[in-house]
Structure 1
Amino acid sequence: MAVPVSGRMKELHYRARRFFLLRALACAFAGLLPARATAHVRTGRKAASAEEDLKKVAALLNGKTRDAWVFTGDSITQGAKHTHGHRSYPEIFAERLRWELARVGDIVVNTGMSGHTTRHIMNDMDWRVGQFRPQVVSVMLGTNDCARNQVTLADFEANLTSIVAQIRAMNAVPILHTPNPIIAEKAPERVSLPEYVAVIRKVAGRENVILVDHYAEWSAAMASRSAEVVHREWLNDPLHPNQTGHRQLAAALFKTLNIFDPAQPTCGAAYYEGAH
């Protein structure tokens, strides 16, 4: 025998069904959004901007907290071999930060790995970045992604967007870099690099991320001094910057973050301190 249901019970039953239906629809809708949008929905935070991020970096540099700065990318960031035993650009940054700016308590971590692409980093963010609980994350990629188009342009854009979203979800400031130009005729498998550079600029603009545009800086130098001279002085092979090239990468980063000081050795002044 059926038990009669009161009007109040019917109303409560209707409200419960409506609640679960709306929640299911919301979850389904969130699944259709890109990573950057779903991250915003989950956190409820106001979307960040490059200008605000530069202010955050300035506040970190002038603050009292001890901060972690993570650099990740491929062999260029790793500084593998081609620096001739000199410092790579993350190491030059560490010297600028921890010595010249007297932030000795800060930690600079380099998780660049030779041969890696956006796919490697996107799938390994916890190990490469998250475990260090960083305040700032610097990312330079593209030189391997473009090799024989092993990561398509569409996937490169999606991966880079996801990397930025994951960094922001850590409440860290992302910094994107374009890679340096290469000698394309001696590395024909990477002839499409300029297209990947365009995607980095596109993602940085759309996601409002700090961008260090090395490709533009080096291209301007090649236009004024000739490509042959710049290649000879700044590259160790068709792809990798030598120690001088890494100093150029570091200088561009310093200028972007407004911490370039020509009186300091990391920015080009002499290290030599006189007779001894």
Structure 2
Amino acid sequence: MMMKRRQFINRTALAIAGTSLMGCFDHSKFQLKKNQVVGCFGDSITFARGNGYVEMLQEKFNKEKPELNITFINFGKSSETVSGLTEEDHPGPRPYLFERLDDVLDKNKIDVALFCYGINDGIYGKPSEELFRSFKIGVYSFLEKMRQRNIPAILLTPPPLAEVVVRANEGMSYSYKNPYPKYDIEVLQEFTNIILDMHHPFANAEINIRQPLFKSQKECYGKDPIHPNKNGHRLIADTIFGNLSF
């Protein structure tokens, strides 16, 4: 069962999306410029205890493109969502990006935002139009924040929920401990479609990390179906790097 959080979301986001946000979009690779700072926003997959794809991207740029002097800052927060939803079996309300986003942006000057949410946003339950709308509004609201501060954004699709290790227990409510068995294909795939179909002038690139992770589940996940292992984080970093131009 969904439990809605406080309503901080920009209620006009979808209305704006249908009008002024539509237009011509360049889907070529996003180009990072010398000395830029990239702020990386996401949940525990981004946070990764400071040892995940964000840090691997930093290492990769330092090694392969040192002349660019790109800095990646990890703003990931465990359990966080942009949908503002929390499942019943979660220990307290999930952190909600929009309760901290302004403060982070006020205190940190960034040139580009990297966005990776979705795995928690469906709260591991069944699909619904309300659920998809909540996620879509969350993504639009993030992009509107970036528009206000003139920060271009790179959107990553949600990673998959690894089907090779998902085991649902009948009779229990769905949660991160007990995901709906079709959560990946019925919820996360639709979240992926939302990201890839995004039309907003500050969505400067959409990168599909779900597809390569899904194809390499056995190598990229251990017993935890939510969090990729080191191989998975390396694949995410390589996928992002390969979808940028220099």
TM-score by length of structure 2 reads 0.69
Q: Aligned ranges for residues 69-88 of structure 1 at < 5 Å?
A: 69-80=38-49, 87-88=51-52
Q: 2:221 aligns with which of 216, 232, 235?
A: 235
Structure 2 residue aligned with 1:51, among 27, 33, 39?
27
Instruction: Calculate percent identity across the aligned residue pairs.
Output: 19
Provide, for residues 74-113 of structure 1, a one-character-per-residue CA deviation record: whole Å limited to 9, x for no partner.
Answer: 11101139xxxxx411011111223421147443110101
SS in 2 for 1:152: helix
SS in 2 for 1:157: helix
Deviations 1:163-200 (A, max 9, x none): 12212322112111122222343364254243234234
* Conservation of the 8 A alpha-carbon contact between 2:119 and 2:158: yes
For residues 220-252 of structure 1, what are the alpha-carbon distances to aligned partners after superposition, in whole Å with 9 as ceiling and x for unaligned? Answer: x25xxxxxxx32x21131111111111100111
Higher strand fraction (1 or 2): 2
Matching residue within 123, 127, 132 for 1:153: 132
Contact persistence 1:176–1:200 (CA under 8 A): no
Question: Aligned equivalents of 1:140 and 1:92: distance in 2?
Answer: 15
* Structure 2 unpaired stretches of 5+: 1-9, 85-95, 168-176
> Cα 1:200–1:169, aligned 2, differ >3 Å: closer, same or farther?
farther
- Whole-angstrom CA distance in 2 between matches of 1:238 and 1:73: 17
Q: Which residue does 1:96 correspond to in 2?
A: 60
On the 8 A contact 2:116/2:156 being kept in 1, the answer is yes
Q: State which structure, 1 or 2, has the greater radius of gyration over its C-alpha atoms.
A: 1
Distance 1:32 1:129, change over 3 A: closer
Identify the residue that residue 117 of structure 1 maps to in structure 2. 81
Measured in 1, the distance between the counterparts of 2:196 and 2:55 equals 24
Report what 1:196 is aligned to.
188
Q: Which amino acid aligns with 2:228?
A: P
The alignment partner of 2:27 has SS state of helix
Correspondence for 1:177: 156
Question: Residue 144 of structure 2 aligns to a residue in which SS?
Answer: helix
- d(CA) in 2 for partners of 1:254, 1:117: 25
Q: Give the TM-score normalised by structure 1.
A: 0.63
Partner of residue 206 from structure 2, selected from 198, 201, 211: 211
Q: Does 1:253 align with 2:244?
A: no
1:12 paired residue number: none
Look up the match of 1:11: none
User: Aligned to 2:156, what secondary structure does the other structure show?
Assistant: strand
Cα separation, 1, equivalents of 2:76 and 2:188 = 19
After superposition, the CA RMSD in angstroms is 3.2
Whole-Å Cα distance in 1 between the matches of residues 133 and 22 of structure 2? Answer: 27
Alpha-carbon deviation of 1:256? 1.2
Pair 1:132–1:36, CA change in 2 (3 A):
farther
| CA shift for structure 1 position 215 | 1.3
What is the alpha-carbon distance in structure 2 between the residues aligned to residue 46 and residue 178 of structure 1?
A: 20
Q: Which residue of 2 aligns with 1:6?
A: none
Task: State whether structure 2 residue 102 is matched by structure 1 residue 133.
Answer: no
As a proportion of its length, which structure holds more helix? 1
Maintained 8 Å contact 2:158/2:191: no
CA distance in 1, matches of 2:24, 2:104: 23
